[in-house]
Chains A and B, each alone.
Chain A
Amino acid sequence: MTRGLPPKPVVSPGAEPDDVSLMARVAAGDAVAFALLHARYAPRVLGLIVSVLRDASESEDVLQQVMLEVWQRHAARYQPALGPVDGWLLRLARSRAIDRVRSLERGRLTPEEARGVIASRSSTAELGVGAAGQIEPRGGRASTTGLDAAMALESLPDDERVPIRLAFLGGCSREQIAAHVGVPVGTVKTRIRRGLGRLREVITGEANA
């Protein structure tokens, strides 16, 4: 049954809950928890949607769709087995953003834009850091940041870095990447898989045995 709209919350001060317990509260219909979840993740979810749609107005509509879906039904399905909440939310958001791209019957990147995505440096323009190397990423953080990932990505060989850049920073599907790069879709999937494996090694320190 589709859930209605949130009831009036009772706001009380206190330490903010961790993500998993927050999701459990949202699933139970806690409107305050939903507001906290929204405040915590809406900027990043919107950022991801913008990176796919590259249209702020459309992106804000998709953000609303995603957050409403979370409230109405998806929160109840969340389990830790699906990975951290932020990644789960971002996957859902990317899926809905790609759905919106398809519904708009619009191609995502022109060849020129794709070349720009491929050529730019992850650690600079997209992340607003300015000239490369002038400001270092934060150290000592337990969780991976976007900047950490961007820097790890730059360490990959071109044939792996390019499809991953197009997938994440260009908002391209694997089929679109194949068209941009000029290789079969299966090759794109293989390169992304191999590249993600290397990224995992860099990011988590966990090597493929």
Chain B
Amino acid sequence: MAFSDLDPVLVDLAQGYALGELSPAEMEAFERRLIDGDEAARRAFAEVEAATRAGLLMAADAGIASRGAIRPVAVEAAVSRPVPPRSPQPGQAPSAGQRPDVLARIGAVTGWLAAVAAAIAAAIIWISRPTVPVIPTGPDNTLAGLIARGAAELTIVHPDAPKFASGRVAGLDPADFAGIGGTAAWEPGSGLGVAEITGLPVNDAATWQYQAWVIDPAKGSPVPAGVFDVVANADGTTSVSVTFDPTLPIGSAAALAITIEPVGGQLEPNLDQLIAIASLPSGDQGGTP
């Protein structure tokens, strides 16, 4: 479709709509034209929709990255360097503990029932949570503690990953990850996972990080469970204890996984950069209550 075929006024309107610059009344009026099948409006909208949607997604991802939206996972300091809290950005809100949670305010005023508030708050807390992770309290949430409470002991393996091509991450080679091993456990009742992993190469914290995931077959994609860095021990080896803290309630965890991701992590994993996985045996995949 050539630009000249379209009414420039209508294209301008479509562009304003696609950029979110119309007033609510104008926005509703334009949407009504689209819904009612106004062919000229649809053609004008079609000209800009795909590209503006992509641009909005780009801006959204940029906004997420600027907030450091994916929090660090708990990594024990004894064996690795904890990820320091990110420096507050100009205008960044104080932590959730320092300001009233907006949803909580709404809930208090309007009386939203608890289950809905909890479900939605999970998303809010994820995006507004301070960088220090909140780990479920318990008598002993170490790997040994989970196993003592009956959680399955899982073997961490480095999967054959032919897609993890040399050079995909600068300076790394698939052979660097061949020595990964360790033990993990997942406690269905609490939704808590812990993995003690050896042999992870030290990451370049300026350019990439490890990201933990919980694989839930009922969800469309793996659930992010935090990012972490790895530093070498005095003898040059590495060993980290990672607490998986999924951002959403897990329905039926099937595996814990580690991928390599850009700094700050991603909302969806680079599965072709999957470098460690611990699969749960069937029957131990229960979700959080």
A21 beta carbon closer than 8 Å to chain B:
no
Q: Is A84 an interface residue (CB 8 A)?
A: yes
Structural contact, A126 and B66, CB atoms closer than 8 A: yes
Please report the C-alpha to C-alpha distance between residue A194 and residue B103 in the assembled complex, in whole angstroms: 41
Select A91's contact among B56, B91, B115, B220, beta carbons within 8 Å.
Answer: B56
Given A90-B57, A149-B54, are A35 and B69 also a contact pair (CB < 8 Å)? no
Residues in B whose Cβ lies below 8 Å from that of A56: 67, 89, 91-93, 128
A135 touches B45 (CB 8 A): no
Asked if B282 lies at the interface with its beta carbon under 8 angstroms from chain A, I say no
CB of A62 to closest CB in B, whole Å: 10
Q: Cβ of A13 and Cβ of B218 under 8 Å apart?
A: yes
How far, in whole Å, are A43 and B22 apart by their CA atoms in the complex?
23
**A155 CB–B CB distance under 8 Å:** no
List chain A residues, Cβ under 8 A from B59: 47-48, 51-52, 94, 146, 168-169, 171
What is A's interface to B at a CB cutoff of 8 Å? 5-9, 11, 13-16, 31-32, 34-35, 38-39, 42-52, 54-57, 59-61, 63-64, 67-68, 77, 79, 81-84, 86-87, 90-99, 122, 125-131, 133-136, 138, 144-150, 152-153, 164, 167-169, 171, 173-174, 189, 192-197, 199-200, 203-204, 206, 208-209
Q: Cβ of A91: which chain B residues have Cβ within 8 Å of it?
A: 17-20, 52, 56
Say which residue of B55, B99, B267 sits within 8 Å of A149 (CB atoms). Answer: B55
- Residues 31 to 86 of chain B near chain A (Cβ within 8 Å): 31, 34-35, 37, 42, 45, 47-67, 69
Per the bound structure, the CA–CA distance linking A98 and B241 in Å amounts to 44
Taking CB atoms, residues of chain B closer than 8 Å to A86 are 53, 57
Chain B interface residue count, Cβ-Cβ cutoff 8 angstroms: 89
Q: Is B174 on the interface with A (CB-CB < 8 A)?
A: no
Kindly provide the distance from the CB of A14 to the nearest chain B CB, expressed in whole angstroms.
7
Residue of A nearest to B251 (CB): A13
Q: A16, B56: Cβ atoms under 8 Å? A: no
Are A127 and B54 touching (Cβ within 8 A)? Answer: no
Q: Is the CB of A47 within 8 A of B111?
A: no
Residue of B nearest to A144 (CB): B54
> Which A residue's beta carbon lies closest to that of B17?
A91
Residues of B within 8 A of A169 (CB): 58-59, 62
Q: Which residue of A lies closest to B219 (CB)?
A: A16
Chain B contact residues: helix, strand, loop or mixed: helix
Q: Note all chain B residues with C-beta closer than 8 A to A203.
A: 50-51, 54
User: B106 within 8 Å of A by Cβ?
Assistant: yes
Across the interface, A130 reaches (CB within 8 A) one of B53, B61, B206, B251, namely B206
Q: Which B residues between 110 and 127 are near A, CB-CB below 8 angstroms?
A: 110-116, 119-120, 122-124, 126-127
Contact of A193 among B2, B11, B114, B262 (CB under 8 A): B11
Q: Which residue of B lies closest to A32 (CB)?
A: B119
- Name the A residues within 8 Å of B65 (CB-CB): 47, 125-128
Interface centre among B56, B218, B268 (most CB of A within 10 A): B56
In the assembled complex, the Cα of A126 lies from the Cα of B224 at a distance in Å of 20
Interface: B287 (CB within 8 A): yes
Mask of B113-150 contacts with A, CB within 8 angstroms, 1/0? 11110011011101110000000000000000000000
Q: How far is the CA of A149 from the CA of B56 in the complex (A)?
A: 9
Could you say which of B21, B116, B268, B287 contacts A13, with CB atoms under 8 Å apart?
B287
Q: B248 touching A55 by the CB < 8 A rule?
A: no
Q: In the assembly, what is the distance between CA of A13 and CA of B264, in Å?
A: 30
- Rounded to whole Å, the gap between the CB of B67 and the closest CB of chain A is 6
Across the interface, which residues of B come within 8 angstroms of A204, CB to CB?
50
Give which listed residue, A5, A49, A147, contacts B61 with CB less than 8 A: A147
Assuming the contacts A93-B20, A196-B52, asked whether A126 and B262 have C-beta atoms less than 8 A apart, the reply is: no
A199 touches B54 (CB 8 A): yes
Q: Pick from B53, B89, B208, B272 the residue with the most CB of A within 10 Å.
A: B53
The residue on B at minimum CB distance from A150 is B58
Taking CB atoms, residues of chain A closer than 8 Å to B251 are: 13
* Structural contact, B58 and A122, CB atoms closer than 8 A: yes
A174 lies within 8 A of B21 (CB) = yes
Contact between chains at B102 and A60 (CB < 8 Å): yes
Instruction: List A contacts of B66 (CB < 8 A).
Output: 47, 50-51, 126
CA distance A124 to B287 in the complex (A): 37
